[in-house]
Each structure stands twice: as C-alpha cells, then as structure tokens.
Amino acid sequence: MKPTNIQDPEYFHKVVDCQYACPAHTPVPEYIRLIAAERYTEAYMVNWESNVFPGILGRTCDRPCEPACRRGRIEEEPVAICRLKRVAADNKEEVRHLMPSVPEKKNGKKIALIGGGPASLTVARDLAPLGYEIHLFDEWNKGGGMMRTQIPAFRLPESVLDEEVDYILDMGIHTHFNTYVESMKEVLEKDYDAIFVGTGAPKGRDLNLPGREAADANIHIGIEWLASVAFGHTTKIGKKVIILGGGNTAMDCCRTSRRLGGDDVKVIVRSPFKDMKASPWEIEDAQREDIPILNNMPPKEFVVENGKLKGIVFGKVAAIYDENGKRSLIPTGEPDVFIEADDVIIAIGQDNAFPWIERDLGIKFGKWDLPVVDKTTFQSTLDRVFFGGDAAFGPENVITAVAHGHQAAISVDLFCRGESVYNRPAPYTNLVSQKMGIHEWSYDSPVVVDKRYLVPHAEKQVALADRKVEVELGFDQPTGFKEAQRCLNCDVQTVFNTSRCIECDACMDICPTSCITFTANGEEGDLRTRLLAPANNTEQDLYVSENLPTGRVMVKDEDVCLHCGLCAERCPTAAWDMQKYLYQVTKATPIWNISEQSTI
Amino acid sequence: MTYIKPKFRHPELPKNKIGYAKADYEGAISTLCGGCGHDSISGAIVQACYELSIEPHKLAKLSGIGCSSKTPTYFLSNSHGFNAVHGRMPSIATGANMANRNLIYLGVSGDGDSASIGMGQFVHAIRRNVNMVYIVMNNGCYGLTKGQNSATADIGSLSKGGSENRYPAIDLIGMALELGATFVGRSFSGDKTQLVPLIKAAMSHPGFALLDVVSPCVTFNNKPESTKSYDYVRAHLEATATIDFVPEKEEITVDYPEGRSAHVELHDGSVIHLSKLAPNWNPTDRYSAVNRLLESKMKGEVLTGLLYIDPNSQEMHELENTVSQPLNTLREKELCPGSKALETINASFR
C-alpha cells in the first residue's frame, strides 16, 4: 500500500466515525468533552453552528451517528450521542448574544424560501447574517415544518421547537405564514434573486383496498392526521385503532392514538418485524406503551357495515429471501384474520408533490416526479431555483435537511455574488498536539468500562393522559457526565512520524486492542491478513507509514483503536503523537469558530 | 495522568487450542521507560506462551533484581512467580525445579544480575542443566542505577555521556557453550520473528536453555556508537539461520530447501527447522558453534539465532535419578514405605 496521506482532510475525518456519519458533520467528540466539562452553553453552540436545532435533534434525531460510533464495535452499545446533545440544550445558559448579528443595512439581494421546515430555516440562518432580505412562506401558522406537524409533542415539546425556530425567525426573516404558495411561476415573476424550495415530502401514501372509500370517515393518512392533532383540530380517536405501516410515522401515530382515547392500539406490518423501518428506540417506546406489533400480515380489505368501518381483513405471509437477499412475501396458506377497528391510520410512507410548480418554467423533473437537482450545489435546472431537504431527493430526515440547507445557502450566496456555484469552500480543519507533559494529555484518555446509561421516562399513566407530556426526561447532569466519559475521543488522532520511529515495538506491545503491526508492506487485501489482530472491517482504513529503516512499514488498523494514547505514551521518540483533529463544514457565513471560541 | 491500560481488547482476538486469547497471557502495564527492549521481550514471551497454548498455572516465572527482573510483573499475570535476591534467581529456580518438576520454569535476568553479581549462580545452573529457560535481557548497562557500563558492555562502546568502555565484555553465550550448556541462542528484542520461535523452542527443550537477548536501553545506552543500541544492532545483525518451531503433532506446511536447512527433533516430538544455514556451522555441533561465534566476533557482527542445541540433553532430574512426581504430591505411603522397604535398602549396603 501507498503511505497514507494524512494531509487529505477526509482521512482523519473518516476516523471520527460519528462526525463522518452525521450528514451535517457535527463535531461530536468536541461537544461531548464540553458537556463533561459542564460547559453546556459552548457545547450547545458547537451544535447550533453545525446542526441548527440541538434541542430538537437532541430529542428526535434519526441518529446516524450512533450505529457508526466506534464504541459499538468494542462493546455492546454506542455512546448515547443524541441524548448528550439534549443535555447541552437543556442546561445551556443564554445563547442569543453568541449568535451572529444581522446587519441593519441589507446587501440588496432578496431570497424567497418556500416551506418553513428545517431546510429552509437553515438557509435562512446561514444567509441572514450576510444581509440578505429573506422571505419565508409556509402554509401553517408557525414555522418548523414537519418538525411541528409530524413530530408529536410528547417527543418534542412545543416550547423547545418554538425557541429554536425563533432564534432564526428573529434574525429579521420576513415570514409569510398561512400562505400556501400555489404557483412557482408567480414567485419567479417577483423580484427574488434566488428561490429555495424546502417543501418536504408532504403527501402521505394511501392504500386503495376494497372498502377504502366507504370507510373514509374512519381512515386517516398518518402525516395528515398527526398535523391535525398538532394544531388541535383532532382531539380524539376510537377505542380500537389499527396503524398500518412500520416506520417512525407509524410509531408516532400509534403512541398519539394511545393519548387520544385509543385503548386497544395495534401496529400491523405486512413484513417481518426485523425489517421495520422505525428506529429501534421508537419501537421500544411504542411497546412500552402496551402497543403490540403484529407482523407478516398484509391488509386485504376494509370491512364496512352499515356505512361504518368495522375492521380489516389481513392475510398471512412469510418472508422468503433468495440468494441475493431479495425478499418476497409468500402467503402461508393460513386463513385470513379479521381484526376489529374503530379507526385506521395509514402510515406507509410519503411522497414528494409539486403540484404548484408549473412544468414549463425550465425546472426539469426526473424519476419519481422529483426535480432534477445537483447533488453538490442543490441547484435545479433553472439557475436561481434551489432545492433542499426532502423536497430535493425524497424523504430523509431532519439532520439531512439541515445538511442540505447549509450547502444550498453556500450556493445561493455564490450565485447572488455572481460566482460559480461549483466554487465550494474547503472545510475548516485543524490538527493540534494534545501533549501537556509526561503521562499528561489535555483530554481524558482513560477508557471507562461503563455501559450505556438508561434515560429516565415519565410515569406511563401521566404520559398517556396528556399528549403534551414529554416521555423521555433526558439525562441529569451527573448522568450526562458519566455518559460523556464513555466517548472514546476519536477525534484525538494517533499521528505517526516515520522519520522518528526507531522500531522498538513499544506501541505494538502496549496497544490494548492490537491495532498496530510492524510488517513488510503489501497490497491491502494481503496486509489485512497479516496484522496482529483480524482486520476484517474493510470500511475502516489502514493507516500505513512510509518505509522504515528495516524495510518494514507501520500498519495501524483504525477499526477498534480506543484513542487511549498509550502508543504515544510508550513511544520513546514521540514518533506517535495524539493530535486533536477538528473538522468543520464551512458555512455561508462564519457562525461559531470552535478553535477560537470553545476549544477544549 | 493517564497511565491506565484500558480493559477492552480487540473483539475478534483469536483463541489458542486451550481457549485462551493472547490477552490472557498479559501482565500489568509496564513501568519501564517507553521503548525499552525489555518490554518487547515481554511481548515475545506473551506471544510464545499463547502460541504454545501453555496453561498459565503450569508456568513459574523467576527473576532477580534489575530492570529485566521487574518484567515478570508485565507478563503472565496468571502464572506463579518468585522475585529473588540480586543474582540469586538460579538457586531459587534449581530448588523450585527439584521440588516440582512439572512446571515450566522461566527465568528472567539481566546482564548485571547474571554477568556480575549472579555469575557464580549462573554458571552452576548451566553446569547442572536445570530444566528451565533462562532469558538474559542484555542491555550492556545498569539502567536502574542510571546507566553505568555493565560487564557485558563491549570494549570501545560509548555510554550515554560519551565515555568509552575500557574493559572487554563477558560473552554469556561463549561461556555457556564452554560450560556445556545444551541450548544456546541469542536474539534481539527488536526482532520478534526470530525471538518468538526461539522462546518456544527453548521452552520445549529439556534442560538449561539460555537466550541472550540484546535489549537496548533507550534511556541510557542507545547512542548509535553503543554496541547495544537499536541502530548498531540492526546494522550489525547476522543470523545463523531463520528459525521455525513446529510443536508436536502439527503438520509441517513449509517447504525447506535441501542443503540450506536442518531439522532438530526434540524429545516431545516437536521440531525446530532452521533454514538459510551459515556455511561450516551445524547447530548440533558444539565445536562449530564456538567457531562460528568467534568468527562473528572478529567481524564485529552481532550473531543471533539458535547457535547450539544438544538433542540428547539430559536434565538435572535425569542425572539425579529423582522421583518422577512433584514432591508436594508424595503422600505418606510413598514417603514412609514401611520396614520391608527399609530392609531392602539396608540390604543393598551390605
């Protein structure tokens, strides 16, 4: 193998698994250390700079970081990153004065944001401090988009949502609420320099089975029903409720039903339990509220008697996987099952819908009726129109929408300044030694063996009685500290200097997880078989040095490195050093420079 | 302060034949200087014991005083151990071995412990062919007392302060060959590919197995002009042969070229394979080993590898015709066999 190029900003970025997996690349270990140091306000700002909604995401994020967490490869469970984010948000002090100010004098450019969800709000936050005049349009009476309409209050209290939405709206954003934009043509005719579309994926899928029309009064579309509950239009539901679908929306629907009068609420999925799309922790929360999940039962027919829904007939199937792992659901031949229901909620997915964009404006649409959008610039085929969030490439999640928003804001800014939107700014990176003295590092390098801490929940009876009572109560400060200490500090990198190495093997001998090997070089596939411990996780890189005096190379398998610093500690020549790598995605406007404002 | 070794190990660490991972042979975290050759030797011992599937409770580690003699704390935490008076480890090992011949005895010593204060003990353990592995972690200086030249420092070698050693070195290998040692090898702490099979072979040898391991002292004796430094040893390294140790009942999978290799079979059926042999050298011929050693010395080489092995070695218990079981397993029946047995013994003297 060629020597690893650690000058490439992506190499060490990839080692910080959580940050790399986060669509917005939030510097996770950095804010976790700040939490451990009780510097909650700065921890919040590190988050806010990157993911814009720390309090919201600390409760509702899809957590792509957690399955990526290195700790999950060393013991059973990853660090509770999401819940730590909430610790920062819950314990912060005043933050407004730390946020960038918005100039009184505008720069003369006008931007329209269609949709008031996370993508649009991110664009607004990134552009407002630059003096843009920003107009935000939303059909509802408040900002937040799907975070308000689709996430129930027992998971996300309205006060948290309002606070973080207002941080942005208070930056002088011109809001046009209760305004459904009906024609893109009309928007284009106005004097906007650029238009950003962040309208999400607003169309819940329906299920056209026999009886669907006759039972319409008691059949609801998941996301529409959740929105109606959120705005107080719907306040009750029948005693017996069936939820069709196995995603997070289904979980929100069943738990909301329990709070609106549903005593006997069932989630029924057509495929196996293990294939459910919902996050494991949301499934657990639903089960804790006495909601059974029945699997391998595709619905066949809505049964209607005297014009009223009586229930659903389900078939029974088994999942068969072919040699490529492709699944087919084969009827088992067992008799169909009838399950009674007063109400049915269909939560089987959602689609994009752009009935308001005329198709002759130069905005091309492609597969699935999605707009043709550049994956890097988020620009559509009409140069002043940009898309982001679920509206760009189909349903994802809040943190992805935020990541899109940052990039779209950069493009809008470049476009308005007449520069090429492909002229993307490089990430901000920094690599600094953490050595403070003999056996002394500026981070807590000892690796604790604590298991993941459990988060307290509200009493079930209390929670089920009121849909606005938050269920998860979050970690208190002492638990937050202990959970924070589980973080392995993967951003503190093991940096190897070939010219200093005397090949004494001290690092190889001390490494607790046998990551380091000195051996003859070879191709990656071959090298992986010759290391001290198996290097089977090919998603994790091998760090290879230049040739050493004996002709061998140092090979470090990054996979299960504990970042404990013992290699550097035992190295007599400081050929190894522990250096903190900071990677920040550059934003359209500087929001918070970690190196200068909150480094730890 | 972060001098704690984390508890986590590589989750896919392989297990040996008796179900232990390499981590099960580890010891406490070393308190020697970072980069000390001794730590590498400890690592090689851990590796060798893991590969040989030794049950940790069937091994005793013995040592004297010195940096080297601290190391038994840093490997095989689950084995027996005895830290003896300076230079007196061979007596303890001899006594322990007499009492319980069923354990594997691993003596760890240094150049001070063996070539100075313990010289008298060292030579007698060789002479008696005590069944043990005797590893000398040889750094040519007294690291624990700030690096004075030891008796194994080569003449002309420069100390950390730059002063030249005026006295000739005691060569433990030459001395052992002279005294009739039955297994003699030299290695370098920075060469585990050679050291691990040598330790394995030494552990399988019935009798006294001396391994003189050059082990640089990074703090006090690692100037390039020191003959025990990493740079010097690497530049002057000369191996008798590459060594491969195949335990009993394991299939031989490597092709060894004819003429340039030799096989030495040990009493338990295990085999030592040596390839790329130096000319005019035969590992089972003491005379050729002495010659080879002298030749290297004249050329200024650091000769490593297995130098001599006596496949017909008879260890102390065989020479003394001792009882075949450990003394602690002898019960009253064996110890007081009764008047009839006494009569037989008395009759034999008449």
What is the least distance, in Å, from the CA of A439 to any CA of chain B? 5
User: B224 at the A interface (CB within 8 A)?
Assistant: no
A to B CB pairs, distance under 8 Å:
107
CA pair distance A589, A491, nearest whole angstrom = 24
Q: Which residues in chain A are closer than 8 Å to B192, comparing Cβ atoms?
A: 505
The residues on A that touch B, with CB distances below 8 Å, are: 73-75, 439-441, 444-447, 449, 502-506, 508-510, 512-515, 533-534, 536, 549-550, 560, 562, 564-566, 569-573
CA pair distance A80, A91, nearest whole angstrom = 17
User: Is B1 a residue whose pLDDT tops 50?
Assistant: no
What is the least distance, in Å, from the CA of A73 to any CA of chain B? 8
What is the least distance, in Å, from the CA of B37 to any CA of chain A? 7
Tell me which CATH code domain B22-320 carries: 3.40.50.970
Could you tell me which chain A residue has the CA closest to the CA of B188?
Answer: A504
SS (H, E, C) A377-415: CCECCCCCEEECCHHHHCCCCHHHHHHHHHHHHHHHHHH
Partner-chain contact A570 B11, CB within 8 Å: no
- Predicted local distance difference test score (pLDDT) of residue A111: 97
Could you tell me which chain A residue has the CA closest to the CA of B234?
Answer: A550
Q: pLDDT (tens digit, 9 = 90+) per residue, B105-159?
A: 999 999 999 999 999 999 999 999 999 999 999 999 999 999 999 999 999 999 8
- Predicted local distance difference test score (pLDDT) of residue B250: 62
- In chain A (600 residues long), the average pLDDT of successive 10-residue segments reads 95 98 98 97 97 97 96 96 98 96 95 97 97 96 95 96 97 96 96 96 92 93 95 94 96 97 96 93 95 96 93 94 89 94 95 93 91 97 96 94 98 97 96 90 93 96 94 97 98 97 93 95 95 94 95 96 95 95 96 85
CA pair distance B65, B112, nearest whole angstrom = 9
Amino acid at A213: E
- B194, with CB counted inside 10 A (0-12, 13-18, 19+), is buried
Choose the closest CB to A509 out of B3, B39, B216.
B39
- Predicted local distance difference test score (pLDDT) of residue A24: 97
- Predicted local distance difference test score (pLDDT) of residue B56: 97
Kindly report, as residue ranges, where domains of CATH 3.50.50.60 are found in chain A. Answer: 102-202+352-416, 204-350
Partner-chain contact A510 B5, CB within 8 Å: yes
User: Is B254 a residue whose pLDDT tops 90?
Assistant: no
Choose the closest CB to B11 out of A73, A444, A508.
A73
User: Is B219 a residue whose pLDDT tops 90?
Assistant: yes
Could you tell me which chain B residue has the CA closest to the CA of A561?
Answer: B10
CA pair distance A559, A544, nearest whole angstrom = 14
Lowest mean pLDDT among B57-71, B118-132, B259-273: B259-273
Strand partners, A244: A268, A346
User: B304 at the A interface (CB within 8 A)?
Assistant: no
Q: Which residues in chain B are closer than 8 Å to A514, comparing Cβ atoms?
A: 9-10, 13, 22
Could you tell me which chain B residue has the CA closest to the CA of A533?
Answer: B13
Interface of B with A in 38-97 (CB under 8 A): 39-40, 42-43
Partner-chain contact A504 B190, CB within 8 Å: yes
Top CATH class of A102-202+352-416 equals alpha beta
Residues 6 or more apart whose CB falls under 8 angstroms from that of A256 comprise A152, A154, A226, A229, A467
Mean predicted lDDT score pLDDT of chain B: 91
Residue written as tokens 């029309």?
A213
State the DSSP string of A172-186. T-EEE-S-----HHH
What is the least distance, in Å, from the CA of A488 to any CA of chain B? 11
User: Is B252 a residue whose pLDDT tops 60?
Assistant: no
Partner-chain contact B42 A502, CB within 8 Å: no
User: B30 at the A interface (CB within 8 A)?
Assistant: yes
Partner-chain contact B39 A562, CB within 8 Å: no
What is the least distance, in Å, from the CA of B190 to any CA of chain A? 6
- Predicted local distance difference test score (pLDDT) of residue B246: 79
What confidence category does residue B238 fall into, taking pLDDT thresholds of 50, 70 and 90? confident
Interface of B with A in 192-221 (CB under 8 A): 192, 216, 218-219
User: B232 at the A interface (CB within 8 A)?
Assistant: no
User: B4 at the A interface (CB within 8 A)?
Assistant: yes
Choose the closest CB to B35 out of A512, A536, A571.
A571
- Predicted local distance difference test score (pLDDT) of residue B251: 60
Percent of chain B with pLDDT over 90: 77
Q: What is the dihedral of CA A217, A223, A225, A230, to 10 degrees?
A: -170
Q: Give the HSE-up count for residue B76: Cα atoms under 13 Å, Cβ half-sphere.
A: 31
Q: pLDDT (tens digit, 9 = 90+) per residue, B66-104?
A: 999 999 999 999 999 999 999 999 999 999 999 999 999
Partner-chain contact A502 B10, CB within 8 Å: no
- Predicted local distance difference test score (pLDDT) of residue B145: 93
Residue written as tokens 């990157």?
A50
Partner-chain contact A504 B35, CB within 8 Å: yes
SS3 B320: helix
CA pair distance B179, B174, nearest whole angstrom = 9
Any idea where the domains of chain B sit in the sequence? Answer: 22-320
Could you tell me which chain B residue has the CA closest to the CA of A76?
Answer: B11
CA pair distance A598, A584, nearest whole angstrom = 13
What is the least distance, in Å, from the CA of A17 to any CA of chain B? 18
Token readout for A236 is 């009750």
Question: If you average pLDDT over residues B59-65, what whole number do you get?
Answer: 98
Q: Which residues in chain B are closer than 8 Å to A575, comparing Cβ atoms?
A: none
Interface test with B, best of A70, A443, A504 (most B CBs within 10 A): A504
Choose the closest CB to B8 out of A503, A512, A569.
A512
Choose the closest CB to B10 out of A75, A510, A533.
A533
- B99, with CB counted inside 10 A (0-12, 13-18, 19+), is exposed
Instruction: Assign domain A204-350 to its CATH architecture.
Output: 3-Layer(bba) Sandwich (3.50)
Partner-chain contact B8 A509, CB within 8 Å: no
Partner-chain contact B10 A534, CB within 8 Å: yes
CA pair distance A196, A134, nearest whole angstrom = 10
What is the least distance, in Å, from the CA of A509 to any CA of chain B? 6
What confidence category does residue B270 fall into, taking pLDDT thresholds of 50, 70 and 90? confident
What is the least distance, in Å, from the CA of B113 to any CA of chain A? 23
Percent of chain B with pLDDT over 70: 95
Q: Give the HSE-up count for residue A187: Cα atoms under 13 Å, Cβ half-sphere.
A: 27
User: Is B259 a residue whose pLDDT tops 70?
Assistant: no
What is the least distance, in Å, from the CA of B19 to any CA of chain A? 16
Q: Which residues in chain B are closer than 8 Å to A439, comparing Cβ atoms?
A: 1-3
Amino acid at A337: V
Q: Which residues in chain B are closer than 8 Å to A503, comparing Cβ atoms?
A: 190, 230, 234
- Predicted local distance difference test score (pLDDT) of residue B256: 57
